[in-house]
Structure 1
């Protein structure tokens, strides 16, 4: 492909504005400047380009007679072919780089993304002369980590679940915790001593069988990390033989089995993590898929043939990291569509659709550690009363579906979220002495549209808002969190009770970072109280008491509940959306047409 890029380099520098098909006078000196080489090498390059059919070359004869070069292939055509070639080899980053380098002023980028739509999906390919069922999926944000102890985002958690397993897993359909790496477990009467028995035959991808030491190490290494809150009450974790693990708690925790379902508590091979600081660049777990390759433009994994819960039907999965701005072209793919950020999609005729209300909401959290109007309860209450959530839904549409007055979607939340009281809100603004100071909303990605709506809407009531746009990475910088008056984002509760706790206990969580130390201390006591209650219904009252306090004192402004859509080809079977809002890869398979 060297000749292709040289052709495009010459085209961009020499052919414009005449274009292809017209002789253009050139000199060897000018060509040497463009190609950054000697005149001798220029002659070799020109000869090769002519030989391969890129150009026609008419050498100038005699002093003062310039040579003429005719470009025989349109720039857009050659550039699109080159980008498609790189993509077909899996070099997606390189494909976009050449488009950005040589495609200015053309529509090649859009054409390429449209072509990529057909490149994604479920395909049967020949690999080493054998058929392999491969699923290619686009994503529009990078995998930030594959280390269970550093998980913040649902996408990273989903990928961790493909490579690793937990002691137990939650069966959403049955509504109960079921075996995984542990085949059985028991606890004492007080809920403070738990014993887990590991199954035989569960092995890591490098071939070693799982042992109790792996479990002990996996839990102990969480202390002090983002996932350290899982083990906050762990007094001791010890191995009682090669396949038995005992967990002793400082206080009762009847939610411990649900904790142990979380990707943050995945089990890792102790010796590999201890020996290799770069383990997370080539992770090894027990999960249904094995790591193959991880670059900044793609992540590749293949099926674990020895998976203890049965081999995946797929042979491999390729996750392609697409530029964020290409999401607008991602329509009508002949594939599974699983990204939460896709907008206005309609399924092809005969496709199936999974639609459901996302278990969570969008919200604003106020920074109580910074001086400003947001530290005043009346000010926060005024903003809450001013926001017309139904109007917000009407104006912005798309996946926004119901007003929110709490974390969880429910008819009560929808009704209470509709309440506005402009007169009372303006009265509260006067009471707190608000003088039009600017309030900074920091946000990122798909939430920018909501923040801009709030800026325009609140300006009509004399509330000045500045929107600070960050990326998925920079939004977590401490200076961003500390300097924001409030943050706008979404919470998704993959596991109801456990995710509620995570909001307040996970280091770096936005809500935790913005609450006062006094309130966090009160919440922690409520959490410990709830964990000691065995009855789920009684425990639920404690969670709702925390939500009530957040709402009454307006530490949080609940905005909207959203819906998630997944469209898929009906010939693709085993499609099910997991608690993280993603399709489980393991059970997907393609129904092939029956032979006549």
Structure 2
């Protein structure tokens, strides 16, 4: 509270040189502090004890008191905000700084300091070391219930906290045991038996059994839960517990993708007792069988700790802290973008450049940006000619920031591998765009263009559409896309989507999931066409034949110009060489379980190593 009174003085005498004294009266300070004269004197004595001020009270009638401020107000505000962070109250730290707008620059100073708190944070007590990886994230992760996932970060965290019955191995395109160590199926592929591992425990201490598997699958397909992923197990006719470790699943029809469905993070096995008892709290602090357990999740941070009874290999990291830092982190005027997740303690990236000696890994072809037309709304976007006018009016080269040249390829579908970079946009044809626009019957209506955090790109799109006569207004979205999509009046939407490690199923999800904006925007006729193609796809056991139906899906949306594909983006992560076992998951995040840091003394010479061991 003393910082509050000091900053009141600092604001009141902002123009005063710190080398000068100022004359004040007790009534002036009483009005400034909004407290009694007795309390004002107590506050002044405490501020003097901290050596923040020097106060000389006036003696006798007509003698005014003299006050001198000894330290910058920025120092007091910064230390107070830092104390909030050390206590774990990050949001209060940011709120506190918002309350001192007269202290210019203190926000940037705080953000720079906060930057040093991220990365690898080892803590040694006696002979035991706790290894913590601390990461920033700009907003709170809203849901960790596998049945209601939407954002990529939610999917990634769920994969750390939960396990599935089977695992997909991308390198070999095969399935291997997860919570089930073996399975069999009947000749007609409608009857499945899964044999569960013994001694697999949930984070709250109970052993996982067949009852949890039955509960999970029935919960996902239930009407009451209203999971957007009900389609995954819509053809499950019955789930029966043969015994504690054996599950029988009967399908209404053969499903060649059934193992894919079971290996999807949406199908993570949940404990029936915890879900029932916790209710909505399960979304925030779920209980799984995974390598990490959730020990804290509030407005300030998400904290995961390694689960000591994990049935597979224990994680090397002991603790992961994801701090929720609001938009101020991005708005600090001097701070460049950082790769916090891969920073070693004490390292920083100056000017956004990769430090010498650091390593990098990257993936291309699974991160796609695109535009959709909302065909659930009335408007000119229902005209195929209008949609083609938009498609041919956009020169994608103008959307690429200078620092991302070479990191993007022109997209033709949601997922592509091995596409070489080209600086020619074959879709761009402004003459053809104007011809289509004249045929569309467009009467100059203003169309709303919805976006999330790609302001520069949508501004360029808005400008280019304006050149051929299409008027647009930009609308930024802040919450779940699926929620806004149902109620939105926006005609065009800018999206960015990252494919899972199973692109076949990821594309199907885009067209079937009830929280997919693509599905919501397709309109009844195109949705029916997509549903029919996917229905036929599920009747084919041949992967090659199923691929032809995915190609027909691509043809459907491209010929109708219902989706305008923009770019495939390169996912890249840089990291300190002391970080080992770094690999990018399909969602663009590093797999936490395999990470470990080589101690600094292991990288040093023998003399330095001895010193480090002593300290």
Scaled by the length of structure 2, what TM-score is found? 0.90
CA distance, structure 2, for counterparts of residue 435 and residue 364 of structure 1: 22
1:300 aligns with 2:303: yes
CA distance, structure 2, for counterparts of residue 42 and residue 394 of structure 1: 56
Q: Is the 8 A contact 2:165 2:177 kept in 1?
A: yes
Secondary structure at the counterpart of residue 477 of structure 1? helix
Partner of 1:89: 87
Q: Is the 8 A contact 2:398 2:460 kept in 1?
A: no
CA distance change for structure 1 residues 450 and 251 in 2, over 3 Å: closer, same or farther?
farther
Q: Is the 8 A contact 1:120 1:137 kept in 2?
A: yes
Number of residues of Structure 1 aligned to a counterpart in Structure 2: 589
1:419 aligns with 2:421: no
Secondary structure at the counterpart of residue 483 of structure 1? coil
Partner of 1:6: 5
CA distance, structure 2, for counterparts of residue 392 and residue 144 of structure 1: 30
CA distance, structure 2, for counterparts of residue 158 and residue 405 of structure 1: 26
Q: CA deviation at 1:358?
A: 4.3
Q: CA deviation at 1:22?
A: 2.8
Q: CA deviation at 1:475?
A: 4.1
Q: Is the 8 A contact 1:168 1:261 kept in 2?
A: yes
Q: Is the 8 A contact 1:196 1:244 kept in 2?
A: yes
Deviates more, 1:507-516 or 1:276-285: 276-285
Partner of 2:504: 497
Partner of 2:205: 207
CA distance, structure 1, for counterparts of residue 17 and residue 209 of structure 2: 67
CA distance, structure 2, for counterparts of residue 123 and residue 395 of structure 1: 34
Q: CA deviation at 1:282?
A: 2.5
Pick the aligned partner of 1:558 from 562, 565, 572. Answer: 565
Q: Is the 8 A contact 1:403 1:561 kept in 2?
A: yes
CA distance, structure 2, for counterparts of residue 312 and residue 110 of structure 1: 36
CA distance, structure 1, for counterparts of residue 350 and residue 144 of structure 2: 27
Deviates more, 1:273-282 or 1:488-497: 273-282
CA distance change for structure 1 residues 442 and 319 in 2, over 3 Å: closer, same or farther?
same
1:233 aligns with 2:235: yes
1:99 aligns with 2:97: yes
CA distance, structure 1, for counterparts of residue 177 and residue 91 of structure 2: 41
CA distance change for structure 1 residues 334 and 216 in 2, over 3 Å: closer, same or farther?
closer
Pick the aligned partner of 1:323 from 322, 326, 331. Answer: 326
Q: Is the 8 A contact 1:571 1:591 kept in 2?
A: yes
Partner of 2:141: 143
Q: CA deviation at 1:103?
A: 4.7
Gapped regions of structure 2 (runs ≥ 5):
607-615
CA distance change for structure 1 residues 30 and 407 in 2, over 3 Å: closer, same or farther?
same
Q: Is the 8 A contact 2:55 2:67 kept in 1?
A: yes
- Across the aligned residues of Structure 1 and Structure 2, the Cα RMSD in angstroms comes to 2.4
CA distance change for structure 1 residues 504 and 75 in 2, over 3 Å: closer, same or farther?
same
Deviates more, 1:475-484 or 1:43-52: 475-484
1:547 aligns with 2:554: yes
Deviates more, 1:504-513 or 1:519-528: 519-528
Q: How does 1:269-284 map to 2 (within 5 A)?
A: 269-277=271-279, 278-284=281-287
1:44 aligns with 2:42: yes
Deviates more, 1:16-25 or 1:314-323: 16-25
Q: How does 1:443-522 map to 2 (within 5 A)?
A: 443-445=451-453, 447-471=454-478, 473=479, 475-478=481-484, 481-494=487-500, 495-522=502-529
Q: CA deviation at 1:365?
A: 0.9
Q: CA deviation at 1:435?
A: 2.5
CA distance change for structure 1 residues 399 and 120 in 2, over 3 Å: closer, same or farther?
farther
1:574 aligns with 2:574: no
Q: Is the 8 A contact 1:186 1:195 kept in 2?
A: yes
Pick the aligned partner of 1:192 from 165, 190, 193. Answer: 190
CA distance change for structure 1 residues 417 and 256 in 2, over 3 Å: closer, same or farther?
farther
1:289 aligns with 2:287: no
CA distance change for structure 1 residues 194 and 417 in 2, over 3 Å: closer, same or farther?
farther
Q: How does 1:237-252 map to 2 (within 5 A)?
A: 237-252=239-254
Scaled by the length of structure 1, what TM-score is found? 0.93
Secondary structure at the counterpart of residue 235 of structure 1? strand
Q: Deviations over 1:311-370 (max 9, x none)?
A: 1111101001112242362545676169xxx99842211000112214041111111111
Q: CA deviation at 1:377?
A: 0.6
Q: CA deviation at 1:566?
A: 0.2
Q: CA deviation at 1:67?
A: 2.1
Q: Is the 8 A contact 2:580 2:598 kept in 1?
A: yes
